[in-house]
Structure 1
Amino acid sequence: MLKQYSGQLILLICIAFLSLTFIPVQADTGPYADIVLLNGSVYTVEQNTDWSDHPLEAIAIKGNTILSVNSSQDIQKFIGPKTRVQDLSGKMVLPGFIDSHIHFGASAELTFGVNLSDCHSISEVQKLLADYNSDHPELDVIRGYGWNYFLFTESGPDKAIIDSVISDKPVILTSFDGHASWVNSKALEIADITAETPDPQGGKIEHDSNGQPTGVLRELAATNLVTIRVTPLSSKQIEDKLNVILPKAASYGITTADDAALTPEMIAAYSHLESQGKLPVRIFGEIVAVPELGQKQMALMELEQDIFNTYSDLNLLHTNINSSQTDSNIPPDSIALENISEYRDTKGLFRLQTGKLFLDGVVEGHTGYLLSPYTDKPDTNGMINWNISEFNQMISLLDRNEFQIDIHSIGDGAVRLSLDAYENAQTENGERDARHKISHIQLINSSDIQRLKSLHIIASLQPNWFYYDDNFKNVSLPYLGEERAEHMYTLKTLLDNDIPVAIGSDWPVGTDYLTYNPLDGIRTAVTRLPLPSNSTYTIPYRPEERISLKQAIESATYTGAYADFMENYTGTLEPGKLADIIVLDRDLFSLPPEDINKAHVIATYLEGKKVFEDPQAFTS
Structure 2
Amino acid sequence: MSGIDLLFHSGHITTLDGAGTVAEAVAVADGRIRAVGTNTDIMALAGPGTRRIDLAGGSVLPGINDSHLHLQFFGLSRPPFSIDLSDRAVSSVREIREHIAGQARTRPPGGWIRGWGWTERHLRELAERGSGPTRDDLDPVSPDHPVLLTHFSGHAAWANSRALEIAGVTAATPDPDGGRVVRDPATAEPTGELHETAVALVADRVPEPTPAERREATAAAMAELNALGVTSVTDPVVTPPMLRDYLAMHRDGALRTRVTTLLNWTWPSVTTSAATIDEAMRYAGTGSGLGDDWLSIGGCKLFADGIPALRSAWMSRPYDDGCCGSLVTEGGDDAQRLSSLATLIETLHRHRFQVQVHATGDRACDGVVDALAAAAEADPWPDARHVLIHANLPGERAMKLMAAHGFVANTQALIKWQVSDALRGVVDEPTWHRNIPVRSLLDAGVVVADSSDAPVTYPDWRQGVETLVLRRTRHEGAVSGADQRLTREQALRAWTNAPAYQEGRERTKGHIAPGALADLTVLAEDVLAVDDEELHAVTPVMTVVGGDIVHDAR
What is the TM-score normalised by the length of structure 2? 0.91
Residue deviations 1:224-255, cap 9 Å, x none? 22122221112211211122221121121111
From 532, 543, 546, the counterpart of 2:485:
546
Alpha-carbon distance in 1 for matches of 2:109, 2:67? 37
Q: Does the 8 A contact of 1:529 with 1:541 survive in 2?
A: yes
CA RMSD between the two structures = 2.2
How far 1:120 sits from its partner (Å)? 3.9
From 490, 494, 499, the counterpart of 1:555:
494
Structural mapping, 1:572-611, within 5 Å: 572-611=511-550
Q: Does the 8 A contact of 2:342 with 2:371 survive in 1?
A: yes
Partner of residue 463, structure 2: 520
Q: Does the 8 A contact of 2:33 with 2:512 survive in 1?
A: yes
Residue deviations 1:569-610, cap 9 Å, x none? 111111111111222111011111111122212121111111
Distance change >3 Å, CA 539–CA 485, structure 1 → 2 = closer
Partner of residue 425, structure 2: 478
Residue deviations 1:240-292, cap 9 Å, x none? 11222211211211111111112333323322221111211101111225465
Distance change >3 Å, CA 339–CA 266, structure 1 → 2 = closer
How far 1:547 sits from its partner (Å)? 1.0
Alpha-carbon distance in 2 for matches of 1:97, 1:572? 10
Alpha-carbon distance in 2 for matches of 1:226, 1:466? 29
Is 2:317 the partner of 1:350?
no
From 411, 415, 437, the counterpart of 2:361:
411
Letter paired with 2:195 = R
Structure 2: gaps (5+ residues): 331-337
Is 2:226 the partner of 1:241?
no
From 337, 351, 354, the counterpart of 2:283:
337
Distance change >3 Å, CA 108–CA 67, structure 1 → 2 = closer
How far 1:366 sits from its partner (Å)? 1.5
Secondary structure of the structure 2 residue equivalent to 1:396: helix
Residue deviations 1:176-215, cap 9 Å, x none? 1111011112111111222222222332222222222222
How far 1:155 sits from its partner (Å)? 5.0
Distance change >3 Å, CA 139–CA 281, structure 1 → 2 = farther
Q: Does the 8 A contact of 2:272 with 2:329 survive in 1?
A: no
Alpha-carbon distance in 1 for matches of 2:40, 2:315? 58
How far 1:436 sits from its partner (Å)? 0.7
Partner of residue 20, structure 2: 50
How far 1:438 sits from its partner (Å)? 0.9
Distance change >3 Å, CA 526–CA 251, structure 1 → 2 = same
Letter paired with 1:428 = A
Distance change >3 Å, CA 138–CA 247, structure 1 → 2 = farther
From 45, 68, 77, the counterpart of 1:78:
45
Alpha-carbon distance in 1 for matches of 2:245, 2:284? 23
Q: Does the 8 A contact of 2:77 with 2:84 survive in 1?
A: no
Distance change >3 Å, CA 88–CA 293, structure 1 → 2 = closer
How far 1:174 sits from its partner (Å)? 0.6
Q: Does the 8 A contact of 1:148 with 1:176 survive in 2?
A: yes
Partner of residue 334, structure 2: none
Partner of residue 240, structure 2: 264
Letter paired with 1:409 = A
Secondary structure of the structure 1 residue equivalent to 2:193: strand
From 154, 160, 164, the counterpart of 2:140:
164
Partner of residue 506, structure 2: 567
Identity of aligned residues (%): 29
Distance change >3 Å, CA 419–CA 298, structure 1 → 2 = same
Alpha-carbon distance in 2 for matches of 1:91, 1:121? 41
Distance change >3 Å, CA 458–CA 183, structure 1 → 2 = same
Q: Does the 8 A contact of 1:344 with 1:352 survive in 2?
A: yes
Alpha-carbon distance in 2 for matches of 1:544, 1:301? 43
From 82, 99, 106, the counterpart of 2:66:
99
Structure 1: 4+ residue segments shifted above 6 A: none
Is 2:351 the partner of 1:391?
no
Is 2:417 the partner of 1:453?
no
Partner of residue 197, structure 1: 173
How far 1:444 sits from its partner (Å)? 3.0
Which of structures 1 and 2 has the larger relative contact order (alpha carbons within 8 angstroms, sep 6+)?
1
Alpha-carbon distance in 2 for matches of 1:594, 1:262? 36
Secondary structure of the structure 2 residue equivalent to 1:337: helix
Alpha-carbon distance in 1 for matches of 2:108, 2:420? 38
Secondary structure of the structure 1 residue equivalent to 2:98: helix
What is the total number of aligned residue pairs between the two structures? 534
Partner of residue 321, structure 2: 377
Structural mapping, 1:54-69, within 5 Å: 55-69=22-36
What is the TM-score normalised by the length of structure 1? 0.81
Partner of residue 305, structure 2: 360
Alpha-carbon distance in 1 for matches of 2:49, 2:130? 68
How far 1:154 sits from its partner (Å)? 5.6
Structural mapping, 1:146-185, within 5 Å: 146-150=117-121, 151=123, 152=126, 153=129, 155-185=131-161
Is 2:242 the partner of 1:273?
no
Is 2:378 the partner of 1:428?
yes
Alpha-carbon distance in 2 for matches of 1:43, 1:505? 22
Secondary structure of the structure 2 residue equivalent to 1:45: coil
Alpha-carbon distance in 2 for matches of 1:358, 1:288? 10
Distance change >3 Å, CA 248–CA 138, structure 1 → 2 = farther
Is 2:416 the partner of 1:466?
yes
Secondary structure of the structure 2 residue equivalent to 1:127: helix
Distance change >3 Å, CA 425–CA 476, structure 1 → 2 = same
Q: Does the 8 A contact of 2:83 with 2:115 survive in 1?
A: yes
Distance change >3 Å, CA 113–CA 397, structure 1 → 2 = same
